[in-house]
Amino acid sequence: MRLVTMAGRLLLGTLVLLVPAARASAAEIPRFLTNIAPPYQEMVGDSLDGTSMRAFDCVMDRLGQRYQVDLSPWLRAHEQVRQGLAQGVFSVAPDAARDTDAGRLSLPLALERWVWVTTAPAGAIPAQVRTGLPVAAVLGSNQLKWLQAHESNVDGAARSGAQLLRMLVGGRVAAVLMDEAELASARRDAGIDATGLTIAFERYMPLGVYFSAAFLKAYPGFLERFNAQVPHCAAANMALSSAERRTALAVAQHVRDQLLADPTLLPALAAAWQANGAKPVQQIMVEDRRYQAHRDRRDDPLVTGLRDHPLSAALYRLRAVSGGMVSEILLFDGAGMAVASDPLSSDLWQADERKFSMTVVKGPDTAFVDNIAFDQSTSQFSVQISFAIGGDPSAPALGGVTIGLNIERTLNGK
């Protein structure tokens, strides 16, 4: 559903979305708060739009949930949620939603990409920060809170991105930390030439919906249903940029090439495919369910066959020397069955996933770069990059390999 223009109206700062739902009473329509923060929430004409707004609208539409959105300053918004006057606020970072007793944060609708900006030569930014040289960020921003929490040498703060860049160019600070999304407009507003600036990635910051505990109690299971729809609705917001994709792909290709140098790889894939390719899909699914049920057992042949495969040891060694960049490696045959993995794969059959359909099905030498995934339990971001593997370019692929990257470490080199 297209926000506002198709399904709602903006009245005195309030958006009421007319989505069909079982609850007809206006008093039962949940109220959510947000603030203008381009490109996540922004006004387009008389309509409230933005990347997070569209993702939020998409999720609620798929859930068939009516709701309204009011604009409010951030501090007032959080206070209204605390008092029960609103049921949630978006888009907020985890640092702004620390009180888990008062509510819970959803999976991210969008990502802030934090970058260091300096006038120093490329490659000097992290060293400058480590040596305690003065840095700055926008007043009240997530970046400023993060710098203060990490005891950086923060020399004041700016009221806007443009003022922040003027502080940098004027020599007041050695580097500034800001959201990449506001960098271009801040540079234009400040009248600063981009050729004089050096940019380096620092980290992502997830932006989700903070739902009040009272709302989640009144709507049992709502957060789980909401999170289940987020990957579909926020997919465009979780994609790597072109530059990020090039960097991640180069790292994954290097790991793949090291794996291909093992003379036992292609024979192992060919043997596995010969054995598994003849099996009916029903048998493969039975084995996959058994593997998942017995994954923590040491005596199941399906589990030990994967864990103790000689190539699993090779994958472990590749992961160990990556400096934390590689989080997982999974090798699978032409039937989609896992042959070797490190760490142990959560499932055995991969043919029902895009890592298989976007590589092996398309033939040898194809690659697939998935979207960024966020693990709330570890606060880590990962990207899976998959390659088809085949001995003869004119023949079907023998299988494929998926390389999971800790994408923040991959991009910032730390």
Query: Would you say 213 and 102 are in contact if contact means Cβ atoms under 8 Å apart?
Result: yes
pLDDT of residue 18 exceeding 50, the answer is no
Q: What's the CATH number where 158 sits?
A: 3.40.190.10
**1 in any annotated domain:** no
**402 in any annotated domain:** yes
The reply to whether 252 and 387 lie within a common domain is yes
Buried b (16+ CB within 10 A) or exposed e, 206-227: bbbbbbbeebbeeeeebbeebb
Averaged pLDDT for residues 353-380: 92
The reply to whether 160 and 227 lie within a common domain is no
Strands 198-212 and 110-118: antiparallel
Alpha-carbon distance values, 343 to 80, 289, 316, 321, 398 (Å): 44, 19, 8, 14, 22
The reply to whether 79 and 17 lie within a common domain is yes
Q: Which of 15-19, 250-254, 400-404 has the lowest mean pLDDT?
A: 15-19
The reply to whether 158 and 296 lie within a common domain is no
- Look at residues 347, 322, 320, 321 and name the one whose alpha carbon lies nearest to residue 330: 347
The reply to whether 275 and 360 lie within a common domain is yes
Q: Highest mean pLDDT range out of 42-46, 298-302, 384-388?
A: 384-388
pLDDT, residue 392, reads 72
The reply to whether 99 and 34 lie within a common domain is yes
Alpha-carbon gap, residue 7 to 20, rounded angstroms: 10
**Residue 24 banded pLDDT, cuts 50, 70, 90:** very low
Alpha-carbon gap, residue 349 to 332, rounded angstroms: 8
pLDDT of residue 54 exceeding 70, the answer is yes
Match 């291909």 to its residue by tokens.
260
pLDDT, residue 361, reads 93
pLDDT, residue 151, reads 83
Q: Which of 85-89, 152-156, 174-178 has the lowest mean pLDDT?
A: 152-156
The reply to whether 163 and 232 lie within a common domain is no
**113 in any annotated domain:** no
Question: Which pTM does this prediction carry?
Answer: 0.87
Alpha-carbon gap, residue 59 to 32, rounded angstroms: 14
Q: Report pLDDT digits (tens) over 202-232.
A: 999 999 999 999 999 999 999 999 999 999 9
Averaged pLDDT for residues 134-157: 88
Q: What percent of the chain is predicted at pLDDT more than 70?
A: 90
pLDDT, residue 98, reads 59
Q: How far is CA 383 from the centre of its chain?
A: 8
Q: The dihedral of CA 340, 341, 342, 343: what is its sign?
A: negative
Averaged pLDDT for residues 86-104: 82
Match 């730390």 to its residue by tokens.
414
pLDDT, residue 61, reads 96
The reply to whether 78 and 145 lie within a common domain is no
Outline where DSSP puts E strands in 18-87: 31-34, 42-44, 47-49, 67-71
The reply to whether 249 and 336 lie within a common domain is yes
The reply to whether 257 and 384 lie within a common domain is yes
**Residue 21 banded pLDDT, cuts 50, 70, 90:** very low
pLDDT, residue 332, reads 97
The reply to whether 247 and 225 lie within a common domain is no
pLDDT of residue 79 exceeding 60, the answer is yes
pLDDT of residue 23 exceeding 50, the answer is no
pLDDT, residue 141, reads 87
Task: Please state, rounded to an integer, the average pLDDT across all residues of the chain.
Answer: 89
pLDDT: which is higher, 59 or 10: 59
Averaged pLDDT for residues 383-402: 88
**Residue 377 banded pLDDT, cuts 50, 70, 90:** confident
Alpha-carbon gap, residue 411 to 323, rounded angstroms: 13
pLDDT: which is higher, 93 or 377: 93
Total residues belonging to the chain: 414
Task: Pull the structure tokens for residue 23.
Answer: 């609850």
**Residue 25 banded pLDDT, cuts 50, 70, 90:** very low
pLDDT of residue 29 exceeding 80, the answer is yes
Q: Structurally, how many domains does the chain consist of?
A: 3
pLDDT, residue 75, reads 87
Q: Report pLDDT digits (tens) over 298-307.
A: 889 999 999 9
DSSP string covering 181-225: HHHHHHHHHHT--GGG-EEEEEEEEEEEEEEEHHHHHHSTTHHHH
Task: Pull the structure tokens for residue 70.
Answer: 């009011």
Q: Report pLDDT digits (tens) over 309-364.
A: 999 999 999 999 999 999 999 999 999 999 999 999 999 999 999 999 999 999 88
The reply to whether 395 and 364 lie within a common domain is yes
pLDDT, residue 132, reads 81
Range of the domain at 283: 242-412
